[in-house]
Amino acid sequence: MTSPQSHPAVIFEGVTKRFTITHDRPRSLQEAFVATFRRDRGLERETLTALDAVSFSLAHGESLGLVGPNGTGKSTTLKLVARILEPTAGRVVIDGRVAALLELGAGFHPDLTGRENVYLNGSLLGLSRQRMNDRFERIVAFSELESFIDMPVKHYSSGMYMRLGFATAIHLDAEILLVDEILAVGDQNFQNKCRERIAALRKAGVTILFVSHSPEAVRELCDRAIWLERGKVLADGPTDAVVEAYYASMVERESHRLAAEAAERGGAPPPSPVTGPRGAAVDRYGSREIEILGVDLLDDAGARLPLARTGEPLVIQLRYKAHERIEGPVFGIALHRDDGVHLTGPNTRDVGLTIDAVDGPGAVRIRVPRMPLMEGNYELSVACYDHTLSHPFDHHHRRFPLRVRAGDVRERIGLLSLDAEWAHATGPVAPVVDEGDVDGGGTDGPAAAPNSGDADSDRGTAIDAGASGG
């Protein structure tokens, strides 16, 4: 990475940006003409503050991620840096050539071809035609739009727009690159290609200002993060710390919303989105001698949980009512990912919990000591069958949502948290052979002797440290 210059690439000093929203604006010439004869010609106006006294600086070669809910000023910040907008108050100082990927198709004229738009963007940044000629083939190759480059861009798909816009921006020798969530467009292969290129630009010393709702993308591409909320800076610091604080806030808000919705339903499932020809739910069936009244997600203290957290305990409570005495019922659950992948399906019979008979109300509780599922949206099925598992009394198929959010675990990728213990061995490590190999079968020579030089175990390996994967 090139050594940073003494003065910052971007400076915001007490920047405020307000927008005026006009209501009941005339929508036609006739309405405007009639309005001139009204006594009260004033239009109702509302002021929206997108940024409120925001201050920060961004050094040359630094990458900064902006996180926060929609409507908190992230995109406005990028447009101020790109000089598309001017601040209402405060000062914005930019040192360097700026290339911006702010909106799909921004900077492209729809009636011009892809080729013409590439050269137009270069000229706007002060690059000569000869310099653009030197870059044009690389731009087209990166965008993978060789067959469409002479087509008017108004006929491009959203993914094609993004490909050409990104390819153009990264080849214009920009010193400051602005990226606003545009990496969410396009196929996975091209998204990976874009991330790799941004990482290369970081190493080359390009200053990057990046907006994304993906915590992992911000962690991967940014050295530092700012959390914007209602136009103000709530946190500014190392990426992991800021992203974790913002994420915790989002989980808390989601928890409050889900708790309020569950309280309104009284623990019953949401209305079924799947119905038959007569409007009856087809994701619930059974003879109903035993009826499952609801499902509760609880913590160990019995308090309701609106969502589960990876690595933390969870109690799933099935509330039922038997309308007559039923002997030997079997209660069970099933978990599906929201794309339909079946994860597990335990029941009381398989785990060895025998229920002799039920009559009247009751509950079955399943305690998960440590939730292994990684963050995601899942669907919970609950059911009660006879002892042969052939006759359903009440079966709710994927009717109860189970939202899992990241807890205090280090793992971030995949479907399950293994909670594994990791260790590191130094020095030569003897291969592990079973007794049959030692006694004369299958090896070309004698078993390797343990390395006694660093012996911290009976195999002669030295264990540096063990760390829990959870």
What is residue 447's predicted lDDT score, i.e. its pLDDT? 45
Tokens representing residue 441 in the block: 């079968």
Contact 184, 23 (CB under 8 A): no
Contacts of 164 (CB under 8 A, 6+ apart): 108, 114, 117, 118, 139, 143, 145, 153, 156
What is residue 301's predicted lDDT score, i.e. its pLDDT? 93
Contacts of 165 (CB under 8 A, 6+ apart): 101, 104, 105, 106, 107, 108, 182
* Superfamily name with CATH number, domain 273-405: abc- transporter (atp binding component) like domain (2.70.50.60)
- State pTM to two decimals: 0.64
Listed by start position, the domains of the chain span 273-405, 421-468
Contact 426, 454 (CB under 8 A): yes
Tokens representing residue 267 in the block: 């623990």
For the chain, 470 residues long, give each residue's pLDDT as a single digit of tens: 444 456 899 999 999 999 987 766 666 777 666 666 665 555 567 788 999 999 999 999 999 999 999 888 998 999 999 888 999 999 999 998 888 877 655 668 888 999 998 998 888 777 888 888 988 999 999 888 899 999 998 898 888 888 888 888 888 888 999 988 766 656 677 777 888 888 888 888 999 999 988 888 888 889 899 999 999 999 999 998 898 889 888 888 887 887 777 777 665 555 544 444 444 456 889 999 999 999 999 999 999 888 899 999 999 999 999 999 999 999 999 999 988 899 999 999 999 999 999 999 999 999 999 999 998 999 999 999 999 999 999 999 999 999 998 887 778 788 888 888 889 989 898 888 876 655 544 444 444 444 444 444 443 333 343 444 43
What is residue 220's predicted lDDT score, i.e. its pLDDT? 84
